[in-house]
Structure 1
Amino acid sequence: MTTTQTAALTPPPDEADWVLTYLGVRIAVGVVGATLPVVLFISHYFFGDGLMPDSISAFYYTPMRNYLVGSLCAQGVFLFCYRYARRDNWLSTLAGVLVIVVALSPTVAAGASTTVWNVAHGVAAGGFYVILAYFAYFLFTRSDHPVAPGSRKALRNTIYRVCGVVVALSMLVAFVLLRSPVHLLFWWETIATFAFSFAWLVKGGLFFADRP
């Protein structure tokens, strides 16, 4: 591996003091992502009118609006603050910007005409999930050294790749459902969100960490 390639995979020396925090940021991204659809479902289904919105974004038009917007903005802040290697940095920053656009540009309301903000919401949401799938499949699986078969790193790489594929396939199904009378978008978005969240939790060392 060349010096340039190694530099792209590891944090710069002048950012060594950040190494103590990037694991925490990874866990925060995973926790916020995983809890969002769970809280929305429980709060609205059991304490609301019992009618499920078509998508996670559609909760904007329910009493859970503030929680939805706050969680997405928190996700954006965590991603913006994430610092590791150069490619990770600019991709996480872009993902952070996109998810904040998702939060501040609501999806189209039922029965309403589509506006430019609704379009921005959809484009930003799609871009956000694409970047998170890329993180799981390509960035989290990198290593400066050969990965030994049967090692914890090999197991984690399998998990990352599965999560990346699940995110991508879920978003593909969700896109198809946008043009279908079947309203299952919430569940496919939830599957994608759980997948990328689990990848970040594993990468943060919460699960399947190397044995001491």
Structure 2
Amino acid sequence: HPEPAPKLHQSQEDSNALVMSFLAVRQTLGYLGLFLPASLLVHAALPGGRLEASISDFYYTGMGGVLVGTLVAIGLFLISYQGYAPLPGERLSDRRLSRIAGVAALGVALFPVHRAGYPVCTVAPDTCWIFGAASHPEALHFAAAIVFFACMAAFSLFQFTRGDRDAAGRPRWTPRCTLFILCGTVIVAVMVAMLPYFFAGPVARARMAASHYLFWSESIGVAAFAVSWLAKGRALGSLGRGMARLASRA
């Protein structure tokens, strides 16, 4: 019966295409995560540039478009990410979690942090964005950022490690699983480390802003998110082999 062969071949091609699509989206998210803090650091090092108190504060610099564009791209990729089909009874599947994270990333981009010296809209909110004035409660920005980081931690700690757990649900501590758990733990630690800033008094907050405490904390968290997605997209092995080839030619 020779007929089934083409169907089997087509099924394999479809499966391979799906895997490549998953990997491409994961890698893209990882590279975008690395690009964001790196590009801001490069801008800060250029003549006339400076390091801002937080990643969000770069919205009011010449890098505002890059910041918003990168966050919107991350948000759209997360919303479009299919992930694995939900398991029976699973409430927070890959797809649901990625959509929540994607909407949160868009929220961070579209509801910028307020900044002294810049207008805050109090009337005619429909025209506020046209003139670059903030018309939203600043809490929206921070809430979106918290949800985004929480989702990224959940991906690293739970979703990405599902294939490396035993029947009892315990992690097997393979190098890959360990990396995911490490990245997720770093993201959670960063979220905890940023809490003192929001509860600090004016003097302490000014000192933390001067030391760029939030910027470095956020950058570490974003880098952990990026590394986790690159590992899930199988990009780290390719990067390592590429660097080894470059080193061998040097």
Look up the match of 1:7. none
Cα shift at 1:19: 2.8
Task: Decide whether the 8 Å contact of 2:54 with 2:214 is kept in 1.
Answer: yes
Alignment of structure 1 residues 1-212 onto 2, 5 Å: 16=15, 18-47=18-47, 49-85=48-84, 86=86, 87-110=93-116, 116-143=136-163, 146=166, 154-178=174-198, 179=200, 180-181=204-205, 182-183=208-209, 184-208=213-237
Task: Decide whether the 8 Å contact of 2:104 with 2:147 is kept in 1.
Answer: yes
The normalised TM-score by structure 1 is 0.82
Look up the match of 1:12. none
Structure 2 stretches of 5 or more lacking a match? Answer: 1-13, 87-92, 121-133, 239-250
Q: Could you list the runs of 4 or more consecutive aligned residues of structure 1 that deviate by over 2 angstroms after TM superposition?
A: 15-20, 110-117, 144-147, 177-181
| Structure (1 or 2) with the larger CA radius of gyration | 2
Cα shift at 1:115: 6.0
Task: Decide whether the 8 Å contact of 2:153 with 2:184 is kept in 1.
Answer: yes
- Counterparts of 1:173 and 1:144, CA distance in 2: 29
Task: Decide whether the 8 Å contact of 1:72 with 1:100 is kept in 2.
Answer: yes
- Counterparts of 2:165 and 2:80, CA distance in 1: 27
- Counterparts of 2:111 and 2:45, CA distance in 1: 24
Alpha-carbon displacement from aligned partner over 1:115-141 (angstroms, at most 9, x marks no partner): 634211110001000000010011101
Task: Decide whether the 8 Å contact of 2:164 with 2:173 is kept in 1.
Answer: no
Task: Decide whether the 8 Å contact of 2:164 with 2:177 is kept in 1.
Answer: no
- Counterparts of 2:103 and 2:153, CA distance in 1: 16
Query: After the TM superposition, which of the residue ranges 104-113 and 64-73 deviates more from structure 2?
Result: 104-113
What letter matches 1:57 in structure 2? S
Structure 1 stretches of 5 or more lacking a match? Answer: 1-14
Number of equivalenced pairs: 190
3-state DSSP class of the match of 2:53?
Answer: coil
- Counterparts of 2:72 and 2:19, CA distance in 1: 23
The normalised TM-score by structure 2 is 0.70
Query: After the TM superposition, which of the residue ranges 172-181 and 31-40 deviates more from structure 2?
Result: 172-181
Cα shift at 1:171: 1.5
- Counterparts of 1:121 and 1:74, CA distance in 2: 17
